[in-house]
């Protein structure tokens, strides 16, 4: 074989650029990730919180969706035995693991009580965590949301975090797996570095291994979207502490000047913000989560419960179709519509996706589907199958 330039040489500067790529874009791991985060004000959390949410959700399911036909009437037509499969899976999930990720809230959902009250609630919340761990009901992910530095009082935020973690370690004999802390209303990029540094100091003071304490940032303002877009080195600058970015629909839509009746996850301004989040954090290993529906059934009557479920399910489907596989749940009723929608979304196409992957692997022309898939599509199909296995508890 003839070469015009002879044996190719590695371009000058390639090694540094490649090392930078690996640092900045490690990609998401195949580790388990939750389909939701349940958000509970700190003053309402006790050792029974997770169990009681599951019991309330299961009671709603049994009362208002007694069989597969009822489930399909609320969540839409499901071919074959899909509705029965989904209902069975939802019932089993609510009985065994109703909450995958719990966030104890000391911010908007909690309010601004006197300092002594928040101190006491931080310790009480830690006692609840230790009790849930002993009872076997502590979710696989758990943590707290502290107050924002944007409120002008970072000392309050850090005091609550310190008191909570100190009490958890004392009562649980260590830090249970799955901990994270949510950092809200990040209006200034500098706050992220400051908070990460505080976590390092707290980690050292508690005697925890380096890198144990990680956090989620909330994207709740146009300012945050802007600095995400213009700061490509943000994630590595935080030393691996940024675990996720969660979208805050109500603060964001309010900051954009939307009227109250347009504060919804599927509004175009929310779609734009999420797309910027996706682009800015693509490949960095930072997980993405959508926001919430701030509504509960108007009453226990079937029409009101069904109406809430239909509204919530439509928003969950919107998130899933746009590649956001996690969202926030605010009420036990949301567990039913969350799991029903997630399970139906994954089960509906799983067999067809698997057939296409098998056809590709066997070098057939699309198999029964008659589709000639590209390598990038096969990668997407394989990722969807992995997500389905995780979401369905089959990984």
Of 349, 378, 384, 355, the C-alpha closest to 368 is 355
* CB-CB contact of 115 with 156 (8 Å): yes
- In this prediction, residue 369 carries a pLDDT of 53
pLDDT at 165 over 70: yes
* CB-CB contact of 337 with 313 (8 Å): yes
* CB-CB contact of 291 with 326 (8 Å): no
What is the per-residue pLDDT across 6-64, written as a single tens digit (0 to 9) for each? 888 889 999 999 998 988 899 888 889 999 999 999 999 999 999 999 999 999 999 99
Q: How many CB atoms lie within 10 A of CB 117?
A: 13
Q: What is the pTM of this model?
A: 0.94
- In this prediction, residue 160 carries a pLDDT of 98
Write the CATH number of the domain with boundaries 31-344: 3.20.20.360
- In this prediction, residue 175 carries a pLDDT of 97
Question: Rounded CA gap, 334 and 312, in Å?
Answer: 7
What is the per-residue pLDDT across 322-381, written as a single tens digit (0 to 9) for each? 999 999 999 999 999 999 999 999 999 999 999 999 988 887 654 455 667 888 999 999
What is the per-residue pLDDT across 202-225, written as a single tens digit (0 to 9) for each? 999 999 999 999 999 999 999 999
Q: How many CB atoms lie within 10 A of CB 21?
A: 11
Pairing of strands 215-219, 242-247: parallel
């Amino acid at each position: 074989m003839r070469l015009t330039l002879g044996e190719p040489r590695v371009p000058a500067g390639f090694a540094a650029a490649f090392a930078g790529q690996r640092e900045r874009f490690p990609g998401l791991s195949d580790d388990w990730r939750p389909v939701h985060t349940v958000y509970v004000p700190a003053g309402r959390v006790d050792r029974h919180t997770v169990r009681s949410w599951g019991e309330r959700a299961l009671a709603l399911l049994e009362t208002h969706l007694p069989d597969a036909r009822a489930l399909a009437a609320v969540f839409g037509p499901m071919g074959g035995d899909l509705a029965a499969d989904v209902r069975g899976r939802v019932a089993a999930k609510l009985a065994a693991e109703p909450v995958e990720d719990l966030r104890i809230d000391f911010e908007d959902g909690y309010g601004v009580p006197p300092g002594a009250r928040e101190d006491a609630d931080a310790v009480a919340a830690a006692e609840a965590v230790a009790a849930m761990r002993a009872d076997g009901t502590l979710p696989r992910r758990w943590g707290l949301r502290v107050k924002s530095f944007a409120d002008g009082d970072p000392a309050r935020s850090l005091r609550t975090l310190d008191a909570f973690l100190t009490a958890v370690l004392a009562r649980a004999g260590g830090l249970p797996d799955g901990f994270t802390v949510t950092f809200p209303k990040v209006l200034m990029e500098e706050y992220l570095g400051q908070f990460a540094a505080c976590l390092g100091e707290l980690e050292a003071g508690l005697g925890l291994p380096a890198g144990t304490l990680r956090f989620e940032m909330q994207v709740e303002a146009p300012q945050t979207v802007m600095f995400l877009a213009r700061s490509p080195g943000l994630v590595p600058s935080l030393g691996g502490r940024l675990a996720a970015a969660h979208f805050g629909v109500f603060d964001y839509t309010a900051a954009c000047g939307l009227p109250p009746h347009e504060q919804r996850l599927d509004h175009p301004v929310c779609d734009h913000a999420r797309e910027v989040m996706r682009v800015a954090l693509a490949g960095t290993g930072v997980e993405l989560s959508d926001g919430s529906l701030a509504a509960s059934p108007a009453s226990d009557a079937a029409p009101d419960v069904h109406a809430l479920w239909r509204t919530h399910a439509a928003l969950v489907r919107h998130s899933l179709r746009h590649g956001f596989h996690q969202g926030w749940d605010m009420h036990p009723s949301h567990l039913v519509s969350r799991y029903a929608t997630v399970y139906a979304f994954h089960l509906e196409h799983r067999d067809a996706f698997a057939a296409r992957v098998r056809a590709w692997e066997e070098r057939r022309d699309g198999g029964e589907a008659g589709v000639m898939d590209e390598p990038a599509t096969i990668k997407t199909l394989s990722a969807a199958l992995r997500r389905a296995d995780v979401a369905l508890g089959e990984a």
